[in-house]
Structures are given as structure tokens and as C-alpha cells.
Amino acid sequence: MNPFELTSQLMSIASVTGTEAAVGEFLSSHIAGLGYRVERQNVAADRFNVLGFAGDARVILCTHIDTVPPILPVREDNEYLYGRGACDTKGIIAAMLEAGNRLRRDGTTDFGYLFVVGEETDSAGAKAANTLKWQSEYVVVGEPTENRLARAQKGAVMANLTVSGRAAHSGYPEAGTSAIENLWKVLTECQSADWGNDSVLGKGTFNIGVFHGG
């Protein structure tokens, strides 16, 4: 099975986050058939990371096996494959496996694979993998980067802000306190704050995700 056929096969197996078992089973069997030592790391019920080793893994090739919804049919033309996961990241899985085959043909075996679940939501697979006691020196993470090598990315800090107010009759508004107005003042200050500037990654950013009030 060449990389294009493998990509198409992987894309045809639905693996929206939380339902990765089928593609995990396929990958486990496929990688074992290529001669790798395969392990599974359970993450949750019917969800597991797939690990494959050619030898002592000094370098790990890592990407994820889940996709965002909705499921899309696979189609192709003379040049491209189209569908869910074509580049994010089932095509990358196939490319990594092809790279591994070429490395082994050249006698290089000090690498392995880590294919994780849950990247599109809470990174449950990556968090589980972070508990593994490996001695690897390098990790190459596969993500769509327009074929440019990326050596860093921005991190993220998430916070929940809660502001309380005081209800009052509309005839006596001065007796009340608007929680929404006070929260908005805080968020406005956050928007204008200095979130740092990195020579590689650029300026830090601030995002208001979900707002509930009343």
C-alpha cells in the first residue's frame, strides 16, 4: 500500500474526536504488519494511543488520529486527495510511515511513532502520553504548516472569570450593581494589556471565548 492508498484508507475510517477506536485498530494492525513493535496506551474507554517502535526510539514521530466533524467522503483527482483528515492529519500519518520505511531500508532504526487521540479538543491523548517514561531526545510533530518546518508554537492559558452583581428594581437602579458591566471593564483592561512579544512567535494575544450573563 503506497502512501496515497494508505491516506485514502485512513480517511475512509471515521475518527471524529471520541470515536477513534476503529482507526486505532487499523493503525495497530497495519504498523505491526510493517514489522514494528506495537503498543497501546489506554486513554479512556475505547480510546487509546498507538505506539510503534523500530528500535530504541531516539526520535519520535508524533501526530494525532482524530478529526473534527463532520465526516466527509473521500474523493480524488489526478493530483490531490480530498476529505476529512487529508492533511490534518491522516496524510501526515502516511507520510511518517513512508519516511520510516525509507529510514529502515537505510539501516536506521532508532525511531518510533506516537499517534494520539483527542488532539482536536482537550489533548487527552497527548496528556496521557506525557506520563510515559521515555528516553527519547527529539519529537517531530506532524501538523499542516504549508510544508514549512516549525520549531515552536504559542502556548495557551485558559481562565474562567466570575463577577457578581446586585439586583435592584428598575425604579432604583442606583441600588444595584451590574455584574456584566464590571466584567466588561475587566475584559477591556485585559484586551489592552501587554501580553508579551517573542522574536519567533510574535505578539501574545488575548481572546474572549464564551460570555454568560444576565
146 domain residue, yes or no: no
Q: In sequence order, what are the beta bridge partners of 177?
A: 166
Sign of the four-CA dihedral 89, 94, 99, 103: positive
What's the domain range around 181? 157-214
Q: Looking at the domain assignment, is residue 188 inside a domain?
A: yes
pLDDT, residue 213, reads: 80
Question: 134 falls in which pLDDT band (50, 70, 90)?
Answer: confident
119 classed as catalytic: yes
Phi, then psi, of 102 in degrees rounded to 5: -70, -40
Question: Mean pLDDT across the stretch 136-160?
Answer: 92
Within-domain flag for 172 = yes
pLDDT in tens, 68-113: 999 999 999 999 999 999 999 999 999 999 999 999 999 999 999 9
Overall domain count for the chain:
2
Active-site hit among 5, 76, 79, 119: 119
Please list, residue by residue across 116-146, b when 16 or more beta carbons sit within 10 angstroms of its beta carbon and e when fewer do. bbbbbeeebbbebbeeeeeebeeeebbeeee
Residue 197, all three cell numbers: 512579544
